[in-house]
Amino acid sequence: MGKFGKHVNRFALTLALLGVASGVGLVAYRQITSVATVQPMPGSATTPQVGGAFSLVDHTGRTVTDQDFRGEYLLIYFGYTFCPDVCPNTLLAVSQALDDLGPLADQVRPILITVDPERDDRAVLAEYVRHFHPRLVGLTGSPERIAEAAKAYQVYYAKAQLPEDQGADDDYLMDHSGFLYFMDREGRLGALLSHNSGPDEIAAKIRELMDQG
Ligand code: NI
C-alpha cells in the first residue's frame, strides 16, 4: 500500500467507485470478477472487454498504438513515477520475473501507462524506466488519451492531495487501481494479477499464457 496514496487492490472496490460515478459499475464488476477467477475462452461471447485500443507516446517520443505491440505478450501496468512505493515495487517484481524467464522474456513487453500525465511527460518516463527492466516501455499522452486508455482497461485513478504538513501546496499523489494485465499476442486479456504479486507468481502466469498459445 502507498504511504499516502491508497492503492485499490480489488476490482470490486475499483468498480464500485466507478459505479458511483458512472452507474455502469455492476455489469462490468460481474464481468471482471469472472475473468479474474476463470480463464476466458478465446472467441467466447462471454469474454469481457478489458483492454483495447490506445494511442500514446512512448518514453523515446514515438507515437504508438496497441497495434504496435501485436505479436508480443504484454504485461500492462497503470501507475505513475511519483508513486512512493507500490508502483516501483510492482515494476521491480515485473523486472525480476522477466530476468527469471531468461530468453522467454524476449517475447514479453512490460508497459507502464502513467495515470499522471501532467507530471509524467516523455522525459520523466525515460529517466524512470531505465531503473527497471530494459524491455520496459513507458507510455504517456494527453489527459484525454490517458483517460481513454484507462477506461479501456477499467482502471480507476484520481488525484489525492498530500496531508497539509507534507510537501508543497501543488504536490499530490494519485489514487489508482493496481493490476497487472496479461495480454496475449492478439491483444486479448489472458489474466490479471494484483500489484502485490511476487516475481514467481508473475513469471508463472506468463508461462501459463505462453502455453495457451
Ligand atoms: Ni502507485
Distance of CA 142 to the CA centre of its chain: 17
Domain of residue 58: give its range.
3-212
Cα 43 to ligand 1 centroid, rounded to whole Å: 33
Question: How many domains does one find in the chain?
Answer: 1
176 alpha carbon – ligand 1 mean position (Å): 7
Q: Which long-range contacts (CB under 8 A, 24 or more apart) does 11-16 make?
A: 11/36, 11/154, 11/177, 11/179, 11/192, 14/154, 14/155, 14/156, 14/177, 15/154, 15/156
* DSSP code for 66: G
Q: What is the pLDDT of residue 213?
A: 74
Note the Cα 193 to chain centre separation in Å: 10
Lowest mean pLDDT among 10-14, 123-127, 183-187: 10-14
Ligand 1 centroid vs 160 CA: distance in angstroms? Answer: 12
CA of 3 to the centre of ligand 1 (A): 10
Percent of the chain exceeding pLDDT 70 equals: 75
Report residue 169's pLDDT band, with 50, 70 and 90 as the boundaries. Answer: low
Q: How far is the CA of 7 from the centre of ligand 1 (A)?
A: 7
C-alpha separations of 192 from 76, 95, 96, 132, 145 in Å: 10, 17, 18, 21, 23
Residues 36-83 have pLDDT tens digits of: 443 444 544 445 589 989 999 999 999 999 999 999 999 999 999 999
pLDDT at 4 over 90: no
Q: How far is the CA of 81 from the centre of ligand 1 (A)?
A: 8
**42 Cα to the center of ligand 1, angstroms:** 31
Cβ 48 vs Cβ 31: under 8 Å: yes
> What pLDDT, on a 0 to 100 scale, did the predictor assign at position 161?
79
Mean pLDDT of the region 127-141: 98
The torsion angle over the Cα atoms of residues 99, 104, 107 and 110, rounded to 10 degrees, is -20
The pTM (predicted TM-score) of the whole model is 0.79
Residue 69 Cα to ligand 1 middle (Å): 24
Question: How much distance in Å is there from the Cα of 32 to the middle of ligand 1?
Answer: 21
Quote the mean pLDDT of the chain. 82
CA of 68 to the centre of ligand 1 (A): 26
Per residue in 95-120, pLDDT (tens digit) is 999 999 999 999 999 999 999 999 99
Sheet strand arrangement including 63-65: 63-65, 55-58, 137-140, 108-114, 73-79, 179-183, 189-194
From the CA of 197, how far away is ligand 1's center (Å)?
14
Task: State the Cα–Cα distance between residues 15 and 112, nearest whole angstrom.
Answer: 21
Strands annotated E in the chain? 7-8, 55-58, 63-65, 73-79, 108-114, 137-140, 157-161, 172-177, 179-183, 189-194
pLDDT band at 171 (very low <50, low <70, confident <90, very high): confident
Question: 86 CA to middle of ligand 1, Å?
Answer: 5
Do 79 and 114 touch, CB atoms closer than 8 A?
A: yes
pLDDT tens-place string over residues 9-39: 444 344 333 333 333 333 343 344 434 443 4
Q: Tell me the CATH number at 163.
A: 3.40.30.10
87 C-alpha to center of ligand 1: Å?
A: 4
